[in-house]
Each structure stands twice: as structure tokens, then as C-alpha cells.
Structure 1
């Protein structure tokens, strides 16, 4: 009898683990622990802001215990053509690319091919002479630098504590113009970008502050050097295909180009939604030379595809019947890596690849402490809540976006208020 009970428990846990490998549609909201009546507030919210011109569209994805409870599209993927939004629409996800690159680095880490505390220069020699900026005179162009204490490491890159910003006080002197932004239509490569980044002194000693910047782009280049593959090929072969992410790319194949949503801008709340003025930002996934693989900002995806990454993290490193990372590595990703520093004014910490919501958060609202979140500059965001076994994502594409904070945070509030 004891043997039968042991076998039963084994099969139960195996079947339970297997059930989390693929999303399933919840039989109803209550079955996943939600109030259907309260979930309907999400519909009211998005329908209202789209009618008011505060957003062109929105696609949502909410799943609890691997059961989908809300996956809807609102508004129009193209306002001018009045094209109805679909849940299969493809969005520019900008900095949500960073989590994918972090996963790639950690896969190499688990294979013994690098350590997180290895100095960057071990893989990218151009960083061997990296200095810290002590003083800079903008008028004369003179700079005072010193050796960093310590040298920047891969861990610093993944936690944005290396001292590598996006905008640098010396950019005009070192590069003749502002550094590359979120995209390019020219024949530029990540290797070329990273070599430019290496020319700039760090803005502080590694590990002493949270400074958001080109860190993950540098980490993406390390993936290329260590693996011997382009970042695009590594992502496709080692992450996207195994997880069943069939709509995530740096550059879209022609057959999927029509699913890319249009990109808009909204400088102020009272301003109308207008087509984004930067043709590169609008068209880079389907035009140009397509040689740049930005590990910090370059991907496009659907809400459903990216939900697979979120569920992969929630499951402890496995999804679609494959394991890409160990449970202990995923646990490590959610540990504070920035010490006493905070993520901007949010009163939150940063781990490896995402922000960690604390019990004194000024950003995470009702999300459980320890929840993991990050978003992209074009306005897309995810939250992974291990306590509630919950993932929630909302995508649109507007940049700059005066309504960004309300768009993503109110969706999160509306999700949590519907939990029973």
C-alpha cells in the first residue's frame, strides 16, 4: 500500500509539473481565482482610454497557475487605416529584450563557459583600459579619469551597476554625435556599437550605483564572442525555438511584416497621437540593412510569445517541456544585485534582468514583494508574481508617451483588484 501511495504522489507531482509546461485556457475566471465581474473593469478601462485618444491600442495577457484568464486586444494597430488590433499583433519590445539576453548569458554561465564576476575585458579586450570619469569640463573638453575599483564585470552589466549610461557627458567629444539609440537602418553592428561604448569612461565605480544604459548590449556582445554565434542565431536556436516563441525576432520575415503595429507618439496628455517622427524606430523591424542585434533593445514580439518567457521564469526555468535554466539560477536572478541602491525613484531593487518589487515599492502597487517586472521604451511591460503564481503583460507602441505610467500601472492595479 505504501508503494502504491508513493507511486501515486510521484505521478501526481509529475503531472502537475507537466501541466505548467503549456498555457491552458481557464475554464472560467473563478477557476483561476479571479472575479469575472472585476476583470471586466479592464475592458472598460482600455475601451475608455482608446476612445479618449490616450492610447492607439492595447493587448493584454494574464495567466495564473498557467491558466489564461485574460488575453484581449483593444483599439487599432494602425489608426490611419482603422485596422482592428489583434492578440497576434507584433510590437517593438525595446528593453524587454534585456531579459532574453540575460537568460542567454546565464545559459552560458551554467555551461561553465563564463562566470558572472569575470571582468568584461576577459571577453571584450576593448574594455581592458576602461577608466572612471572623475571630472569633465564641457567647455574645454578636458577630462580627469582614474582606474575603476573594481573593474566592471558581467554581473555589473546584468544589474545595470557597471557605470555605463545611455547618455554620457562626453559623447559629443568621443563620438562626434549622440550614441546610437534604439534602432538603426544603417549597416551598423553590435560589435561596432560596443567598441564605441568602451571608449567612454564609466560614470562611477562598478557596483556602487544603478545606472541604466548600454550594459545589456555589451552583455549581448559577450554572448556572441563566447558562443561563436550571432545574438539572433543564439536566441532563435537556444531560446525561441525551445520555448515555442514563433513570433519573436530582431527582424521580421516578410510573411509577418503586416502584423507589426504602427508606432505613435504622445508628448503630452493633451497632445493627439501622431505617427512617430523617427523612421528608423517605426520601420527597423522590416526595413534597412538589418545588421544590428541590440541585446538591450532590439526585439519585436507578441504578448503571447513574451508570456512564455514570463511563465518560464515563474516555473523556475522550464516551459514547453524543456529546461533552459536551473531552478537555482532563476532564484539567483530574483536576488538584489545593487545593494543599497534603488531603481530610480521606485524604491525597488534590481536583480539579473529585471526589477524586484520590494515591500516599500513606489511603483509595484499591489504586486507581492519579490515580484519581477520590467518594460520597454515603446510601452510594453510585464510583471511576474511568484507568490500569486501570476504573470501579467500589457503591450502598446507609443514613444515618447506621456501616459506611459498610467497605462502600465493601472492595468496592473486592475489585474490585482480582480483576484478573489
Structure 2
């Protein structure tokens, strides 16, 4: 990771500075709160990012008996005000609000944080939360780069934190059943896997840059990303279609479906050994930066290939094809050929994958029991890595090799340089 040291900032200046200046990670105490969780304790959760999916995550915690919405944070004061009103309406009382996530992490009454920010703001709050002794739920894709993901996983292990990745398909029964069937050989020898991803849903045309709205702290929204003028079609949902902030549908839907592929292949802490570039097309007028369509083929060391087609009209989901049958799975859909293939039978040594009926609840349970969640940070990192590798091949327009044990692209300086990105001063990732 290309990192740069952040200047020392006093706590008084930190709390009074609204411009979002960086604070060295060492400023956070690397200690675990003494509070122990018992059967009747409520996990006190702070929410970092409360727009769109952040609102959905917030709603999922209002009314839970074993978790409490204890703090809200957003760099848009209008969004923050709306979330605060929602909490007051649903919970019957308000909770503290913050502009700067570091204020939230500095509170001793916060046990855990749920991060629903643009992708370029996943790594820093996660690493800082681990250093501050907080457990973390971070939305998918876990990271913006491979190097960030490794730093996040290492921080979780170093500080013994429970870090859940928001790849909630792991907690949906249709995906577990499909992955379990593949793991137990019900489709015979796996021959090919096809992942269909939707096209870019950017609503054009592009618009000119303009002054940011007064409610949004745009410099803080940019954070470690390169400095760019504000553009209303490059923030909020559309951030995912611009390279400084995200990776398009490959890291949006791909983070879901390729995660299930990794699960079904038993590669939760590994990955493919190569990415074959097939094609990639970009918007002719440059409305956005990520591919409009793309196709890459991942190869694993056992000969299994995964064809990932984005924006080409394929069903949004995963098709597992083997010598003994096929399985197609998507949200709310699970079908097989032959039709009884999903029902087994399996022998006494059959693989039984973890069951989780509720992704958020799984995180809370694991916090209280101090165990790893169903989509642990290492799992989320490896799945996001598959997505990042596909984007690297698409951006370079050529195939690449991958060493999953070393997490390196051997013999390719240009591709290797894309495994990390420099941070804009004064932000730094102290891994």
C-alpha cells in the first residue's frame, strides 16, 4: 500500500475541524473495552453512512432487542438529519449524531460500528474501528483495492475484532443450498461456472461540474480519493461508476455472486490463479468510467473456470454446470436439472455449510460469542479480490496471472501497481 504519514493533530483541533483532516491511526487506543457481553446485553452500534443502503441497515436495527442504535454519522447534514428523525420516530428517542466518524469511534459507549459508505471510505473507518476496540460490519465490496482488503483483515486479526462483510447472500437459504450441493458433488465434476452481472444503471446524460451543496462536506466525502470538482452525478449512488470511488457492477453485484462462487468452491481464503481477458467496452461519451460491458474468465488451480459476463444480457445470478447436472441460483430463485438434484442424498461425511437466517443477527451473535461471522473479513477480502482482479484485466485489456498465496501478480509491474492506490494527503492507512 502506498501510504503517506499524516500530520499530528491535537484532539481539540480534531474535534473542532470540520474540513475532514487526517488523523494518524496511532491516535486511536489499541485496547478492547472491558465490557463483556452477556445473554441480556445489547450491543451498542454506531452507524457510519446513513443514506440509501445505510438507511436500510439502520432500519434493520431499530427495534432489535439485543442491539441498540447508539450513534449516527454522515458527512451530509441533511442525510444525517433524516436518519436522526427516523430513529426518533421508530425508537421513541433520539441518539447522538456526528459529522466525523472518528468522534463516533472515540466514544466509550459504542461497542461496534456499521459502515455503509462509498467503497473508497471502507478501509479507513474499518481499520480505525478495530484499533479503537470496536467490532465492525462493513458493506460490500469490502475494499477499493486488494491492498486495502489485506490491511482490513490484518487489523481485525491484530485487534481481535469481529468484522462482518455485508455480503448478505451468505445468509440466504437458496445460496447456501446451491453452494452446499456443489461442495457435495451433486452436479458431478464441475465443468464451468457462469456469473451474470447486470449492466451499468447510470442515468444519463452526464452533467457539468458545479459547486457542492451546502449540506455536504465534499472535501470529507472525497477523503483519501484524488481531488476532483464536485459533480452531482458522481456522488451518492452513482459513485460506483467512477474508478476513484468504486469498481462498477463488477464490485457491486460481482461482490455478491463471486463470493458465492468462492464459497461453493471452498476457496474462502484463496482464489483463482489467473484471469483471462475476453473483452470490455466503455461508454463512448465517457458518461462514467467503468466498463459498460465486460467479460473475463477466472481459472483455478484445479482446472475449474468461472466465466463472468457483465452487461451482456445474461440472467443476474450464477449457473453451476457439471458432469451430472446444473444449478442456477439468484435472489429468490433456485432451480436444478435434473429437478431432484438439490435434494441429495449425501453421505455421512457431507459438507454442511453454516446456516444464518439473518446477516445482521449473525454479526450481533458473533460479537457476543466472540467468534467469526459467516462472511468474515478474510472471506470478504478474498471475494473482493476476485472482483478487483477482473477489473484490472478489463482496464488493461489483457489477461493476468494471480498468486493467491502471496496475493501478487507475478512478473507484471503495471498490473501489480493497480493492487493499491495512493491516498490523498493528509489521509493515510496505517496497517
> The TM-score by the shorter chain falls in which range?
under 0.3
TM-score by length of 2: 0.25
TM-score, with structure 1 as normaliser: 0.25
